[in-house]
Amino acid sequence: MSSNSEEKTGSLSTFFQEYEQGQAQQESIETGQRRIDQQAETGGRNPALAKVLPDLNTISMPVMVDALRRLRMPRQEGNSNLPTNRYLRILNIVRYLLRHREYPPDALIYESLMAAMADPQGSSTGVRKLLEDMSIQNVPLTADVCYLALEALSVHPDYILRQEVVQTMEQHWFEFTMPAKQSIAVAMLREGQFELALNKLDQLLEDPGHVDLWVYDIFILEFGREGFFDEMLHILKARKSTHGSDSAFITIQLMALDIFSQGFHHEGTTFVWRDVVNIPIHSPSNGIIENVLATGARHGDTELASQALKKLTIRGKTRQQHNDAIVEAFANSGDVAGALTLLKLQHNDGRLILRGTTLPILRAILKNRDLVSEAEAAIQNMRKEGHVPREVLMVAIEALARTRTSEAAMPLFNDMRLLTGKSPRLSDIGLLLRHASQTATQYDLAVAYNSELAKIDTTSVSIEKKSYENDQGNDDATVPKTWMDQVEAGPAFDVMIPACAQKGDFELAFKFIDYAKNAAPDYPVWRSASWVEPFIKLALDAEHPGVWKIVDLLDQGHDAPAMMVRRELQRRRIQKRASS
């Protein structure tokens, strides 16, 4: 070997040293576990491309050169007999040629090594070293080296180096082929330059050349991961129109359906779902179908939601949340009557109707208050066919109360037993109390509340004040709940007790007060209730004798209720002296 050739060969030593580190185990798989003689190969197979690296001493140089050329080509018909680890095979053959066959490090050597850099085991650093070494050794730059460098940089993104390669190609007037443009677009994508990458892809789609399917697939996957659903759908449509029937596209569709439905992207979900419904080969998981159902529900697409629910039903996988979703779909579509009818059908089938089931209907009505009348009409139509489920009626009642105050809802509320065959729950009355604006309505609701209180267990609960205070702020505390806590009676009493006093029904007011006092006799939380001060003032104004028992209980200690009652009594004494 000449000294000049030795210098060139030695110039790649640093490169090989870097890529030889940590590869001893992999090379044990590559190296000759058996000798293969090139003459022993039949059918025109290249022995240097055997599954296991042969003894290269037995392989001629032309055969090894041919192997390097074929290793640069994609695995396809006519070039399918390639080793699994092409990266290691290239490095092993090149290293052998340089060290043992005195092969000059020409363009073929650099092109082969550059092809190896596109492997996941390669790197952008390796690309730079090879380009720099070619320049130092005065090896003429070829277009193939640049193309292979761009391909490697699409796997190992390096924006600065990619720009340098592009500028070099422009300076040498190298053609930007479709594969080169694809590598640039994919590199932009991997670099996170999503807008530029999409623009580049759109340019490729407008070019007369053919864009490889894998390029579409990479863009679809990456944009999906980043949540760019509109852009993902744009590329998916282009992919389908180009070649949408291959087996890889079926996998892409299912992946896209999963991504779109998880992100509740309606247009993307429906675009893919049409194929899922019409093509039997698609078989999305139950989780994907559930997401499709949820997407249909959120966007008010009753057809999409119904189709998804049907698939789950066929598989025997329907649950409460799925029935809730179909109700939500009808509600969000503005079909309140349809949603309420569905609730009735589910109730008739023995399904449990929870607060969460009816909330979508209520939200739809609150969003478009014109739907209140539609809900009332739906209730009247159901009435003709028998009892209306109480939960269904309460949707209309709550909608009326929240949009027009409880006074507008009282006619339906008063007909509850007639319409449903059931009495109102304490929570139903409490809801109306929150939205009642007139004392008369509040009093009527208090009378109804009293009737329902007689039907529940109002047994007292013992809560030691000291232990209760010690447990405050402790998430693991197990402080017993009173019956008032369980039915949330406190806010109702805050409205009803003053209303009863205003209407002069002190008997009912004191009855509610007794309920509040006896809920936890050893810890009188009722002292701080909102009803206390207005009731005391109203009862003192009315000179009701029963008020003094409450006053005496409050006038103990130095807490806020005690100070309040003392101030009120003092104020009244001063007023009385002034008037006399």
- DSSP classification of residue 57: G
Residue pLDDT, tens place only, 120-142: 999 999 999 999 999 988 899 99
Please tell me the total number of residues recorded for the chain in this structure.
580
User: Phi/psi at 305 (nearest 5 deg)?
Assistant: -65, -40
**pLDDT recorded at residue 40:** 35
Q: Annotate 325-341 with three-state secondary structure.
A: HHHHHHHHCCCHHHHHH
Buried b (16+ CB within 10 A) or exposed e, 398-422: bbbbbeebbbbbbebbeebeebbee
564: nearest Cα among 527, 538, 513: 527
Q: How far apart are CA 235 and CA 237, in angstroms?
A: 5
CB distance 256 to 272 below 8 Å: yes
Q: What angle do CA 231, 312, 266 make, to 5 degrees?
A: 20
DSSP class of residue 415 equals T
pLDDT at position 82 is 77
pLDDT for 232:
96
User: Distance between CA atoms of 113 and 72, rounded to whole angstroms?
Assistant: 9
The residues, any chain, with a CB within 8 Å of residue 215's CB and separated by 6 or more, are 182, 185, 186, 201, 204
The whole-number pLDDT of residue 57 equals 82
Q: Which residue has the tokens 């949540």?
A: 227
Per the CB < 8 A criterion, the answer to whether 513 and 473 are in contact is no
Distances (CA, A) of 429 to 372, 379, 443, 496: 20, 19, 11, 11
How many angstroms separate the CA atoms of 420 and 377, rounded? 16
pLDDT of residue 42: 38
Tokens of 276: 């899922």
Q: What is the pLDDT of residue 169?
A: 95
Write out the two tokens for 363. 């939200």
Helix locations, 285-333, DSSP H: 286-298, 302-314, 320-332
Positions of the chain with pLDDT under 50: 1-2, 22, 24-29, 32-43, 465-470, 473-477
φ and ψ of 35, to 5 deg:
-85, 135
